[in-house]
Chains A and B, each alone.
Chain A
Amino acid sequence: MPNKRQRVEIVNSKYLGVIMAMFLATAAYPLQAKDLPTFNLSVKDGKFSPEKVEVPAGQKFKLVVKNEGPGTEEFESSDLNREKLIPPGQSAVIFIGPLKAGSYGFYGEFHPQTARGQIVAK
């Protein structure tokens, strides 16, 4: 039945349209100026250093996590709603906030016992 098939194609194109619009909305969002406050930490042998990072509350910031190895680490924090794999030798850039004042835990998913730290927003 060609009629039905045609209609299915219309469905598909319409639905794709919705998704494309979402993509375009994403692309149209202007890249923010990258002069946000930046905080660095590193992870080595399954441990973060420093394990406590103080950041200003109420302001978006950039967290740069360098993985000094060995192996891949995954920066994970449900407090911050963030997760990111970091290959050894690389630095991951993670945009966070603005945060309300308080303490936010994070951990390395591949070393959950030892790789733990917190971000304190003041």
Chain B
Amino acid sequence: MLPTAIIVFREVLEAALIIGIVLAAARGVVKRGAWVSTGVIGGLVGAGLVALFADVISAAIAGSGQEVFNASILFFAVVMLGWHNVWMGRHGRELAQQMNAMGQAVKEGERPMHMLAVVVGIAVLREGSEVVLFLYGIATAQQDQSGQMLAGGALGLLSGAVVGLMMYFGLLRISSKYLFRVTSWLITLLAAGMAAQAAGFLVQADLLPAIVPTLWNTSAILSQDSIPGRLLQTLIGYTDRPAGIQVLFYVVTLVSIAWLMRVYGGIPARKTKTACVA
């Protein structure tokens, strides 16, 4: 039961952390729960489909279908996260300045929550499909009694959910003045990590050059197989032995989102200042 729980926990962790961050980032948004639930349900349906067609996906593109599929959905999630951040960079300040609750609610309604819902869906789909395949595998192999297996799966799922909740409530402790800034950075790092992971998949499929196979090795300091390593892998994209191209994708994504947030998020403030001077 415990081995099952640990494996399921490891898979669930990433999706749980992402949901925790998204929920905190969307604090105060009308129908936030509905959006996130839609993402989760969509992700679960997707996970079932991916698990069902796992052999088709794997066999596609000369055996590299899985890597291309993973890289594509990860890049898609990166775009959604970046887009959301840039949008928030533009409107977040106005929202914070507006004391009028009704005005705020209207504005918040315009917020691209569907992008965050898609990101949640993708996280659930990726991790969920692995859980389905794993549980299905042991169910057919009958290594474990099915009751034990279900208990292990439930324990793993629950533990993952607890970590996600801790992330969420931890973030809510941050003063609402800084919450947006913190969640924007978390989302930017999440996106950069996903881009690096996607690049790794394409290297594995020999569709991208590694540039340097292993740029550094910090496994002795913090192994990515450990729980802290795993947490950091999801949160900031930590990899103990990254390929050069992964670091490149990480930096380019980080700088691009930060730059776009600065350039487009800064416009309204600068404009007001210029207007005042004029």
Residues of A within 8 A of B (CB): 4, 7-8, 11-12, 14-16, 18-19, 22-23, 26, 29, 31-32, 45-46, 60, 70-74, 78-95, 97-100, 109-110, 112-113
Pairwise interchain contact B79-A16, C-beta atoms closer than 8 A = yes
- Residues in A whose Cβ lies below 8 Å from that of B240: 78
- From B24-32, B168-176, B200-208, give the one contacting chain A: B200-208
Pairwise interchain contact A26-B223, C-beta atoms closer than 8 A = no
Q: Check if B185 is an interface residue, CB within 8 A of chain A.
A: no
Pairwise interchain contact B58-A87, C-beta atoms closer than 8 A = yes
In the bound assembly, the distance between CA atoms of A91 and B75 in angstroms comes to 26
- Residues in A whose Cβ lies below 8 Å from that of B48: none
In the bound assembly, the distance between CA atoms of A18 and B87 in angstroms comes to 17
Pairwise interchain contact A85-B241, C-beta atoms closer than 8 A = no
Q: Check if B96 is an interface residue, CB within 8 A of chain A.
A: no
- Residues in A whose Cβ lies below 8 Å from that of B264: 7-8, 11
Q: Check if B153 is an interface residue, CB within 8 A of chain A.
A: no
Q: Check if B45 is an interface residue, CB within 8 A of chain A.
A: no
- Residues in A whose Cβ lies below 8 Å from that of B163: none
Pairwise interchain contact B54-A19, C-beta atoms closer than 8 A = no
- Residues in B whose Cβ lies below 8 Å from that of A83: 204
Pairwise interchain contact A4-B83, C-beta atoms closer than 8 A = no
- Residues in A whose Cβ lies below 8 Å from that of B224: 78
Pairwise interchain contact B241-A95, C-beta atoms closer than 8 A = no
Closest A residue to B260 by beta carbon equals A15
The residue that B7 contacts in the complex, of A4, A8, A23, A109, with Cβ under 8 A, is: A109
A15-B86, A32-B206, A92-B63 in contact; A81/B75 too (CB < 8 A)?
A: no
Lowest 5 A-B CB distances belong to which pairs? A71-B137, A95-B206, A93-B63, A72-B133, A87-B55
Pairwise interchain contact B137-A90, C-beta atoms closer than 8 A = no
The residue that B141 contacts in the complex, of A71, A79, A109, with Cβ under 8 A, is: A71
Q: Check if B82 is an interface residue, CB within 8 A of chain A.
A: yes
In the bound assembly, the distance between CA atoms of A87 and B202 in angstroms comes to 20
- Residues in B whose Cβ lies below 8 Å from that of A31: 206-207
B257 CB → nearest A CB, Å: 8
A15-B256, A90-B59, A110-B7 in contact; A70/B54 too (CB < 8 A)?
A: no
Pairwise interchain contact B130-A4, C-beta atoms closer than 8 A = no
Q: Please give 12 more A-B residue pairs, beta carbons under 8 A apart, in addition to A87-B54, A109-B7.
A: A8-B87, A12-B86, A23-B75, A29-B207, A31-B207, A71-B133, A72-B54, A74-B130, A78-B223, A78-B241, A85-B54, A110-B7
